Chains A and B, each alone.
Chain A
Amino acid sequence: MRGYEVLFAGNNFLRLLSGLWVTLRISLISIGASLVLGIFLGAAMTVRNKAVRAICKVYLEIVRIMPQLVWLFIVFFGVTRSTGINFSGETAAVIVFTIWGAAETGDLVRGAFVSIPAHQYESGLALGLSKAQLYFYVILPQTVQRLTPNIINLSTRMIKTTALVSLIGVTEVLKVGKQIIDANRYDAPDAAIWVYAAIFFMYFIICFPLSVFSKKLADRCK
């Protein structure tokens, strides 16, 4: 059997896709959760209270300074060891990516709020808008417009980073790929290059359109 035939032999391709879905599911859940948490965090980052702002900043920097893989190890191995709570690899991944994603989203939200010039607030108030109207009609639409491309970028980063979960034992696309390669070791010794190339392009097919879309949106903002 030739290497590329392995890709489509039996239900191999479907298995790869279902492996891909495992990572995608982890990233989608984490992206959703970090959006919700990130908006609150971003709002907290813009309050006047210095203590609140400092706490948020420390949280952001602590999360950012460590590689995500280190965080995965800490939650997957470390927390289990020190508290006895046993997370599955997938749960650990969702926890880590949510904590990380929330921090990054928070920073983006803060950046978007801060980038709205003060005269927008002032002219809104001068027109006699109430505070609620001001935010709903003037500030939020502009914030969302500036935020969306960055959030999409962050999402592609998170999707790419979820590829790491194979290293804490989650059976996702890389693991499935390895199983397929191992099962066909004798029939198709060169399967590895095809399988890994296929996985490479699967990620590309997901992330590339998102990157293009976010670039388009960002250009439109200018």
Chain B
Amino acid sequence: MDWSFITEYYPLYIRSAVLTVTIGAVGIVLSAIVGMICALCRYYKIPLLNGIAAVYTELSRNTPLIVQLFFLFFGLPKIGIVLSPEVCGTVGLAFLGGGYMSESFLSGLGSVRKIHLEAAESLGLSRAQTMKSVILPQAASVAAPAVCANVIFLLKETSVFSAVSLADLMYTAKDLIGMYYNTTEALTMLVIAYLIIILPVSIVFTLLERRLHRAGI
């Protein structure tokens, strides 16, 4: 292990890790929003939107992120839509994640028993009130584990961004390997960088899940 190499180049990793986390976080938040909208469209069976959301969910869940990114990054410019690598990564992650999130949210919403909805209705709650105080609290706790799994999955998927020339962690590692052939050091730093990003998230989610489990949900 060449320590001087590590001390010289670890700032590169920090910079690219920040980029990975930023785009990952924005993409994940966007995918949660997209997923929520799709799930609501499908839950209330809004005409037309229901169909569009269902088709979108299947398209995004059954294709790899790298193919989606290639389409966005190399395909779309041919019809005049040019996206920067950063935007492309964010949009791609939101497109992929939206499908997964929509499915998790929908299964959460679907888990609320009909009798609760009927009870809410007979109590005279409006649709919005029913959603806010009856459906969402129950749906959220059922959907939470799946949503957490999605977040970790999406964080891991950010490693593909290097394919559209985003200077993320993978890109940095590959660059260093190509330039200096210090493969072991470059890969070790890569692994540590991903551990620092993913491990805390994973631990927090495990604790959260355990708590939900204890709460008897």
A: residues with CB less than 8 A from B are: 3, 65-70, 73-74, 77-78, 80-82, 156, 160-161, 163-164, 166-167, 174, 177, 181, 189-197, 199-200, 203-204, 207-208, 211
Contact = CB atoms under 8 A, between A and B. Distances in A.
5 contacts: A67-B158, A70-B159, A192-B78, A200-B63, A203-B63
A104 to B, nearest CB: 12
Nearest to B71: A196
A46 B79 CA distance: 55
A90 B162 CA distance: 20
Interface core residue of B63, B74, B79, B163 (most chain A CB under 10 Å): B63
Contacts of A211: 58, 61-62
A17 B58 CA distance: 22
Contacts of A177: 70
Contacts of A194: 75
A203 B71 CA distance: 13
B58 A167 contact: no
B202 interface: yes
SS class, residues of chain A in contact with chain B: helix
A167 B163 contact: yes
Contacts of B194: 65-67, 70
A174 B66 contact: yes
Main secondary structure of the interface of B (DSSP, over half): helix
B190 A70 contact: yes
Contacts of B177: 77
Contacts of B190: 70, 73
Interface in B164-199: 170, 173-174, 177, 181, 183-184, 187, 190-191, 194-195, 198-199
B59 A204 contact: yes
Contacts of A204: 58-59, 62-63
Given A193-B75, A196-B71, A200-B67, 18 more contacts: A65-B194, A66-B194, A68-B159, A81-B183, A82-B183, A82-B184, A156-B62, A163-B66, A164-B64, A164-B66, A167-B66, A167-B163, A192-B74, A193-B76, A197-B75, A200-B63, A208-B58, A211-B61
Interface in B96-137: none
Contact of B75 (A69, A156, A192, A208): A192
B157 interface: yes
